[in-house]
Amino acid sequence: MGTIVTDVARICVLAHLIRASHGASGPPRGGRRGAGNRGRGGSTKEQRVSGVSSADAPADVREVVSRLRAEYPRARTELDFRDAFELLVATVLSAQTTDARVNSVTPELFGRWAGPEGLAGADPAEVEKVLKPLGMGPTRAARVIALARALLADHGGEVPDDQDALEALPGVGRKTAFVVRGVHFGRSLLAVDTHVTRVAGRLGWTRSRQARTVEHDVVALVQSADAAAEEGDAEEGDAREGDAAAETSDPTTDLTALSLRLILHGRRVCTARSPHCAECTLADLCPRIGVAA
């Protein structure tokens, strides 16, 4: 039965990729599907480098999720924060810099101007000095002050658990809103950054470098795999009807945890320039799309 379930999951995954490659899914906002990395003849730059065929089977989703969970038991963001507001501000500040750099300035930032009330009334020149190590100090200072003011004006200083409301705030995009709603409010959302894009691409889960398309592709794969697992669990349950001790595994993948683990894996093992495939827990599953032999 286990073999049949695995085969069903693989068929779902391959069917999805075939549909995706023929444009069955809609284009992402603001760009042609996969336009970011496709060359003539439909092959990607990464695929030309590696010589890996697009027919390579994508890594088994459920097995990847399981192994990443074992490798990174605590799925967490590496940003330091104490509440939803600090998580929101830290995530906004993390654009085009590292979490470690953000963590080096936020203790002073949040210490001097606590909460949205404090930051909304801050002197931009003073905030700029604190944020200078991140680069683009004036822009970042103006952005977080505007964010604090808008949060006070529109939401009484409370961070909303609402995608549209969050994306309406200055400096907040889809990824930042997903991080806040996933990490603080416990929603299951796949926040896509450069690490998720790279690792998912190498695993054969997407051919795109466009965040919205990567999100669409990976979520579709996960949902197909979860549905196949649920079906398998139901069949096993029928076969063992009356067995009070029979337990089924939870087939629902937490997309927030998956996103955070893909980010950790991308930072520590599946690095941009020289992925450490020999030490990777996914080595025997991964088609290594775009990785030079």
Residues that bind ligand SF4 (CB under 6 A): 199, 202-203, 269-270, 275-277, 280, 282-283, 286, 288, 291
CA–CA gap between residue 183 and residue 179 (Å, rounded): 6
d(CA 196, CA 279): 19
Return d(Cα 87, Cα 134) in angstroms, integer: 17
The nearer residue to ligand SF4, 165 or 277, going by C-beta atoms, is: 277
Residues annotated catalytic, as ranges: 175, 193
CB of 266 to ligand SF4, least distance (A): 8
Report the distance separating Cα 166 and Cα 55, nearest Å: 39
From the CB of 74, what's the least distance to ligand SF4, in Å? 20
DSSP 77: -
At a CB cut-off of 8 Å and minimum separation 6, what does 291 contact? 50, 202, 275, 277
Which residue, 60 or 86, has its beta carbon nearer to ligand SF4?
Answer: 60
For residues 144 and 196, which CB has a smaller minimum distance to ligand SF4 in the complex? 196
- Shortest spacing between CB 252 and ligand SF4, in angstroms: 23
C-beta of 285: minimal distance to ligand SF4 in Å?
A: 8
Binding-site residue set for [4Fe-4S] cluster: 270, 277, 280, 286
Give the C-alpha separation, 237 to 231, whole Å: 10
**Residue number with CB closer to ligand SF4 (143 or 288):** 288
Question: Residue 127 to residues 25, 111, 130, 192, 229: CA-CA distances in angstroms?
Answer: 44, 12, 5, 29, 50
End-to-end CA distance of the chain: 36
